[in-house]
A and B are shown apart, each in its own frame.
Chain A
Amino acid sequence: MFVYNLRLALLSMRRNPVLTLLMVSAIAIGIGMSTTCLAIFHVMSGNPIAYKNDQLYAVQLDNWDPAEAYTGPHDMPTQVTYLDATALMKAAKAPHQNVAFVSGLTLQSDNPAIKPYLIVARVTYNDFFPMFDTPFEYGGPWGNDADQGAQQVTVLSEETNEKLFGGANSVGKEVTLDNRRFRVVGVLKKWNPTPKFYDLENGALDDGEDLYIPFSLTQPMELHSFGNNSCWKDTSDHTFQGYLNSECVWLQFWAELPTAAARDDYQQFLNDYVKEQKKAGRFPRPAKTYLSNVDEWLKTNKVVPDEVRVLVALSFMFLAVCMLNTIGLILAKFLRRSGEIGLRRALGASRMALFRQYLVETGVIGLGGGLLGIGVGWIGLFGLRHMLSSDAGRAAHLDWTMVGVGLLLAVVASMLAGIYPAWRVVRIPPALYLKIQ
């Protein structure tokens, strides 16, 4: 019966190509617009590490100005100070914890053909790699001794390895960073999580860093953050060490807390830490700490800009207009065919059978509109990618999930649109249509 209905649907569409084209186009434009906006929203609101969502927590401490709270999630700074970061790392209360920041270093290659250039480095402990499941192509993270001893070792990104060593296994090779020799211990596979959940502060949709070096090099190399840096108090003495001891926040701190118990323990530890620091005269604001899992962190940091939300909302209204249009077109189409309806009823079709037939027909039209709509959406996203530089344009792309969503939306919306016309036309007494001259 379904296949029969399918055949009837296709026949009917062919009989009136102009009307069918209008219907399919109306749906396609609506679906295309919604798909474009939804695709962007989907990428930006994604959680690349969703499977570990309840194990990874961003740590916030309120060390801020007593006169005025920080403008940020939960009214607290999103980054921590060097003092707090090192203290928390030393305490090592969680199974894994990590502090990191972004810096810029001059890279000089041993290969004279490659001119010196500025790279973006993530300065981090080695916990970063297992915590965030970074995939390695060659080698692995540096050992704990490298972290303790501020060894000059590095893990390269896939792109950097490609540029410097042609993609070959470069473990053991050396590279000069800020006039110091570094040894390669590992090379990552291509890894650009979108959004960059572990550092939303400094370009949530940016590419991953060019390479990674141990955090303990911060002091000896006097590395400055190339990312956001906020201070509410002047640094007491104007030296680098003074800066490290200041209340300036510029570091991202994450803890891996695999169970609810671990989480509660760590929360308690943080509260105790703040109490202690308050006694020492720091943390002038009311004691406040916060642990956010990845989803919450993404949400409170508003990775999805308001503009995108507005566009998604408007695009749904747009789709509604297209569907209203479609209802009208479908109604017109069905009413014009009232003779056929009367005939089928006279030949014994029940109202339900005809209703199903027409619903299948609108479903088929919806599928056609959906397929065309995906095409329209693809064109829209292509256009957007052109308008946005590569980093921001990363969000404007169609994955298979979105294709599925788009098609489903098209079919469901069309069938919903077809319900009223089908019901209306099937209800009218057959005799009215079978006017015998």
Chain B
Amino acid sequence: MEIRPILSALLRNKTGAILIALQIALTLAIICNSVFIIHDRMVKMARPTGMDADNLFVVDMTAYSPTFNAESAIHDHLDLLRGIPGVVDVSPSQAIPLSGGGWSDGLYNNPEQKGANTGAGVFHMDEHGLNTLGAKVSEGRNFTHDDVQYQNQDTYIHPSIAIVTRALGEKMFPGQDPMGKVFYENDPKPVTIIGVVDTLEGYWPSWEGFERQIIFPTVFTRPNNRYMVRTLPGQRDAVMKVAEQKLGDSHDGDFVRHVRALTWYRDRNNESDHALLVMLTVMSGLILAITALGIVGLASFSVSQRTKQIGTRRALGARRRDIVNYFMTENWLITSIGVTLGSIFAVALNYWLVSLFKVPPISWYYIPVGVLCLWALGLLAVLGPALKAAAIPPAIATRSV
């Protein structure tokens, strides 16, 4: 192929080539990083939650009557909720998983609470908690009714038993079975692990400890009460309406603050991530379109400026496909310079993003895939102008001026 003469011609008339090559370089850098960030976040968002998230909803109630008895009210609420058809199970819950807000603790391996501690999310639920969430212990046992303590939040003393997630077990007791082991939480009283759940996500999706949880058999008696309710598949919305109405009618002295699906909290917490992904997707799509249009534009212009030359080549014996080949090759050369530069830009950009922002380092294969895409984009974009060039009649060569 006539690469060398095409290259020398390009070198003598650099402007168009530089403009396109730079556009391609920047586009590659942006696309590689954007797609990487998008994919990374989507993978994170698609992790299994360990709970039946689509069929869970959260009830928040607040009492105002001065004679409110929290413990009996909670029992009443639980009975009422469990009695609604379509409800699989109910448990009080101190906080809402996946919502971006909740309770966390630093746990120690030693009673003196010295040294590094392991951060974990803390769930306070009763013996129905795991079933309500849709999780199960894969080792050990669930809490019994007698394990559950009703406590005032101010006078709260943590229980002596807990169920943990496997991720927490791995972090605190690497390579060992966490069953039966003890840990310490803020005081020398040990907490014994009686059960292990394989997966249960916590409160903060962007936290590195998101998979580490301890579940305590505690129900807080307060004026504000929160319940997690699990329904049969597909019945969540209908049951939510019934629950809100029945709870509203039940007690005097308290009122329903809200009844919301767990997915409402989850999606709300993910909102800004979701918005970021949309922005990045739009940006990527637009930049590909703009670069493609830029190539089409400049290639068309270049063809129109070189009409005489194209006619001459045809007169000298070039076939139509030789002309198409010429422009495709020229474009391929420019794109290649662009993607080479762009690969460097992409890595540099990623390096900068990693060092300044919480972006993880890019997986290497994004760059060659990006390069292939841009090659394809360039060739497709230049095809139109190249075909038009091929249609230039050879007789143009003899026209004077």
Contacts and interface: CB of A to CB of B under 8 A. Distances in A.
- A and B: direct contact (Cβ < 8 Å)? yes
A321 B15 contact: no
Nearest to B304: A336
B354 to A, nearest CB: 11
Contacts of B358: 306
Contact of A310 (B62, B257, B357): B357
Contact of A179 (B66, B287, B297): B66
A231 B186 CA distance: 9
A238 B155 contact: yes
A332 B223 CA distance: 73
B64 A239 contact: no
B276 A311 contact: yes
Interface in A111-157: 115-118
B343 to A, nearest CB: 15
A335 interface: yes
- Interface size classification for chain B: 35 or more
Given A178-B64, A384-B275, A328 B305 contact: no
A318 B62 contact: no
A307 B272 contact: yes
B187 interface: yes
Nearest to A325: B294
B19 to A, nearest CB: 5
A428 B153 CA distance: 83
Contacts of A388: 271-272, 275
Contacts of A387: 271, 274-275, 278
B33 A314 contact: yes
Interface stretch (B23-31, B76-84, B161-169, B172-180): B23-31
Interface in B1-41: 15-16, 19-20, 22-23, 26-27, 29-30, 33-34, 37
Contacts of B349: 317
Contacts of A335: 301, 305
A235 B302 CA distance: 77
Interface string A230-258: 01111000111011000000000000000
Query: In terms of DSSP, what is the predominant structure of the interface of chain B?
Result: helix
Contacts of A26: 290, 293-294
A318 B264 CA distance: 34
A276 to B, nearest CB: 26
A238 B156 contact: yes
B19 A328 contact: yes
Interface string B66-106: 10000000000000000000000000000000000000001
A222 B34 contact: no
Nearest to A233: B186
A299 B261 CA distance: 35
Given A238-B155, A238-B157, A388-B275, A321 B23 contact: yes
A328 B29 contact: no
A22 B401 contact: no
A224 interface: yes
Contact of A332 (B23, B280, B301, B357): B301
A88 interface: no
A396 B41 CA distance: 22
A401 interface: no
A211 to B, nearest CB: 16
Contacts of B23: 321, 324-325
A358 B283 CA distance: 31
Interface stretch (B44-52, B112-120, B194-202, B372-380): B112-120
A118 B294 contact: no
A324 B282 CA distance: 19
A315 B224 contact: no
B153 A224 contact: yes
Nearest to B349: A317
Contacts of B117: 67-68
Nearest to B345: A317
A307 B276 contact: yes
Nearest to A229: B103
A331 interface: yes
A76 interface: no
B224 A104 contact: yes
B157 A328 contact: no
B19 A324 contact: yes
B359 A310 contact: yes
Contact of B223 (A106, A310, A328): A106
Interface string B141-155: 000000000000111
Interface of A: 22, 26, 29-30, 33, 36-37, 67-68, 104, 106, 108, 115-118, 178-179, 222, 224, 231-234, 238-240, 242-243, 305-307, 309-311, 313-315, 317-318, 320-322, 324-325, 327-329, 331-332, 335-336, 380, 383-384, 387-389, 392, 420, 424, 435, 437
Q: Which 8 interchain pairs have the tightest Cβ spacing?
A: A234-B186, A306-B357, A238-B155, A106-B64, A332-B301, A325-B294, A328-B19, A179-B66
Given A324-B23, A392-B272, 6 more contacts: A26-B294, A118-B257, A240-B154, A318-B286, A387-B271, A388-B272
